[in-house]
């Protein structure tokens, strides 16, 4: 018999935890103890019926069935519950002044071409032209030379190139750039659009039941790396997007909003070499030193 006594409603969590006393992995035992305490406390607070508990089991079973090599429904569940962003925040605590991180997302592609600074990553010419520029800085305000910037984004229909094979060119709206001595970067793309997370599975059904939408606001993805600095995985967001205050996966951070200015002045249009109006986006990134 357990030192905690027989299993009762009152001592349920401690009895279960005591059975794990011989665990070979101390961290696993610690994690399971915390999860057990919180799970039992939640069940005691909710007091689910047997039918309600079976609904929960069926939901988790359906979530597993929906997952495969291309689709991870449990990650999606973690996203919409805010857990993915919480884990990211805990693992990417930054010193004061450093840029905040966000989750990588499922559509990063290795091997995007390195392009000359100022190149246009929009290979099919579709969408509203957008100039993106800024600086890569250290926390003491100094420009970082040789920083590698990996960028990618959706087209104006809300799709990444890998979602539209044969429709978009390979590596459309993707590129890698390297800063010079001034730490500056600039490139051309197309104004991105909001898009839904996959909502044709159990997680999508949960969102509907909760009265929530599945949309991410418009954004650009960045991975920024430089010798001597911690890598930064982040986004910039359009603060005027319809879903900026209610994104489905809690990825928006105030510090990562960058105004998408619509340029209609004819002199600026001519100076930029554009045939018509374009969007101008400026955002600096500050990298934290390693250690």
The 10s digit of each residue's pLDDT in 94-141 is: 999 999 999 998 899 999 999 999 999 999 999 999 999 999 999 999
CA torsion 214-220-223-226 (nearest 10°) is -150
Structure confidence at residue 30 (pLDDT):
97
pLDDT, tens digit (0-9, with 9 covering 90-100), for 197-223: 999 999 999 999 999 999 999 999 999
8 A C-beta contact, residue 205 and residue 214:
no
Structure confidence at residue 4 (pLDDT):
63
Give one word for 71, left, alpha or beta, with left for phi > 0 and alpha for psi -120 to 50: beta
Query: What φ, ψ does residue 81 adopt, rounded to 5°?
Result: -90, 0
Sheet holding 148-153, edge to edge: 174-178, 148-153, 219-225, 232-237
Residue at token pair 């159990």? 202
Q: Which residues pair with 114 in a beta bridge?
A: 176
Q: How far apart are CA 148 and CA 133, in angstroms?
A: 14
Q: How far apart are CA 119 and CA 236, in angstroms?
A: 19
Residue at token pair 């929906």? 66
CATH homologous superfamily of domain 96-197+209-287?
Aromatic compound dioxygenase (2.60.130.10)
CATH 2.60.130.10, the chain: domain bounds: 96-197+209-287
Low-confidence stretches of the chain (pLDDT beneath 50) = 1-2
Q: What is the pTM of this model?
A: 0.90
Structure confidence at residue 69 (pLDDT):
86
Q: Who contacts 266 (Cβ-Cβ below 8 Å, separation ≥6)?
A: none
Q: How far apart are CA 284 and CA 185, in angstroms?
A: 9
Q: Who contacts 223 (Cβ-Cβ below 8 Å, separation ≥6)?
A: 104, 108, 149, 150, 231, 232, 233
Q: How far apart are CA 63 and CA 66, in angstroms?
A: 5
């Amino acid at each position: 018999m357990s030192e905690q006594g027989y299993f009762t409603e009152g001592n349920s969590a401690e009895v279960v935890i005591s059975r794990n006393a011989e665990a070979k992995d101390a961290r696993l035992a610690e994690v399971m103890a915390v999860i057990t305490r919180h799970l039992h406390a939640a069940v005691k607070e909710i007091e689910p019926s047997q039918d309600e508990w079976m609904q929960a089991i069926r939901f988790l079973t359906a979530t597993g069935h929906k997952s495969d090599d291309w689709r991870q429904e449990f990650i999606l569940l973690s996203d919409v519950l805010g857990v993915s962003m919480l884990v990211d925040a805990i693992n990417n605590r930054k010193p004061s002044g450093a840029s905040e991180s966000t989750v990588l997302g499922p559509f990063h592609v290795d091997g995007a071409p390195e392009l000359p600074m100022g190149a246009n990553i929009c290979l099919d010419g579709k969408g509203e032209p957008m100039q993106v520029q800024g600086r890569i800085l250290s926390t003491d305000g100094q420009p970082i030379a040789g920083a590698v910037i990996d960028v990618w984004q959706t087209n104006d229909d809300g799709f990444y190139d890998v979602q539209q094979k044969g429709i978009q060119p390979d590596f459309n709206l993707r590129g890698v750039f390297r800063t010079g001595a001034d730490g500056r970067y600039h490139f051309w793309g197309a104004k991105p659009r909001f898009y839904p997370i996959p909502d044709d599975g159990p997680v999508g059904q949960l969102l509907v039941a909760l009265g929530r939408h599945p949309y991410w606001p418009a954004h650009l993805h960045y991975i920024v790396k430089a010798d001597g600095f911690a890598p930064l995985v982040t986004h910039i967001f359009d603060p005027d997007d319809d879903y900026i205050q209610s994104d489905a996966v809690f990825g928006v951070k105030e510090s990562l909003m960058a105004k998408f200015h619509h340029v209609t002045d004819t002199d600026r249009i001519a100076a930029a070499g554009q045939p018509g109006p374009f969007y101008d986006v400026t955002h600096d990134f500050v990298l934290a030193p390693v250690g």
